[in-house]
Amino acid sequence: MTFRLALFGLIASSLVGVIYVITEPMIIESKEDARNKRLYSIAEPFLGEVKIGTPINKVLANDAPVSLNNPLPVTPINNGKLQIGAVVPFRALDGYSGTIELLLALDTERRILGVRAIDYEETLGLGDKIDVQKTDWILQFNGLRYVDLSPTAWAVTKDGGQFDSFTGATITPRAVVGALAETLAYFETYPEIVGSGK
């Protein structure tokens, strides 16, 4: 009987092994696809003739805000050889249920092309309205530059800023707007990180 159990184990693990070998390249491809789809959806205004490059890690100076990883993976968006924008990940640490992971696409003049929440645990039906699949809330940043508004306007209306929060959920949008403002302000000081001149 012990021998039989060992035999079952052998058969079962070879089945998993065979499927693993077959699916492994497909899984790598799907993961890459998922990453690209996110980047493409955020870089929509560029779509057409442009190409999304591979991310380059950039080491940030010590005064980098907590919303940015250090080193920061910056994904360039290219039109031919010319870089016309970049996508960077950033995060809001003070969401209602932990960290909210976001993506930010900027053009070379540091104008926002898009912001997307990609990973979060916010309450369903309340805080998850930051997701573009639920509401258009996050699209209101499109086309803005940090210098277009006064620093105090980069806040939710409840805090005297100019961005709406949702009924029943202020913490989530406050966290997102706060982290976004911090990130944008940093790139105004160090524009070369996202591949643009002063």
Partner 1 sequence: MKLTTVWLNGLWDRNPGLIQLLGLCPLLGVSNTIDKAIGLGLATLFVLVMSNASISLIRHLVDEAIRLPSFVLVISALTTSAELLMQAFHYPLYQSLGIFVPLIVTNCLILGRAESLARREPLLISTMDGLAQGLGFFFVLVSLGAIREWVSDIIILATLPAGAFIILGMLVALHQVIQKLLKRFRSNTKSDSKRRRVRTTGEIS
- Smallest gap from Cβ 20 to partner 1, in A, equals 6
SS3 per-residue string spanning 90-138: EEEEEECCEEEEEEEEEECCCEEEEEEEEECCCCCCCHHHHCCCCCCHH
Position 152 contacts partner 1 (CB under 8 A): no
- Smallest gap from Cβ 26 to partner 1, in A, equals 4
| Sole window of 21-29, 55-63, 157-165, 184-192 interacting with partner 1 (rule: CB under 8 A) | 21-29
Position 16 contacts partner 1 (CB under 8 A): yes
Nearest to 130, CA basis, from 94, 166, 158: 166
Restricted to residues 32-91, the positions that interact with partner 1 (CB under 8 A) are: 33-34
Nearer to partner 1, 110 or 116 (CB): 116
84: left (phi over 0), alpha (psi -120 to 50) or beta: alpha
Residue 3: alpha-carbon gap to chain centroid: 52
Nearer to partner 1, 126 or 132 (CB): 126
Is 84 strand, coil or helix? strand
- Strands (E) in the chain, as ranges, are 51-52, 56-58, 72-79, 82-95, 98-107, 112-119
For the CA atoms of 146, 96, 71, 33, the dihedral, rounded to the nearest 10 degrees, stands at -90
| Sole window of 26-34, 82-90, 147-155, 179-187 interacting with partner 1 (rule: CB under 8 A) | 26-34
- Smallest gap from Cβ 185 to partner 1, in A, equals 32
- Smallest gap from Cβ 88 to partner 1, in A, equals 21
| Sole window of 22-30, 67-75, 79-87, 138-146 interacting with partner 1 (rule: CB under 8 A) | 22-30
8 A C-beta contact, residue 43 and residue 77: yes
- Smallest gap from Cβ 121 to partner 1, in A, equals 11
**Residue 42: in which H helix or E strand, if any?**
helix 2-42
| Sole window of 46-54, 83-91, 118-126, 152-160 interacting with partner 1 (rule: CB under 8 A) | 118-126
Give me the residues that bind partner 1 (CB under 8 A), please.
1-2, 4-5, 8-9, 12-13, 15-16, 19-20, 23, 26-27, 30-31, 33-34, 124-126, 168
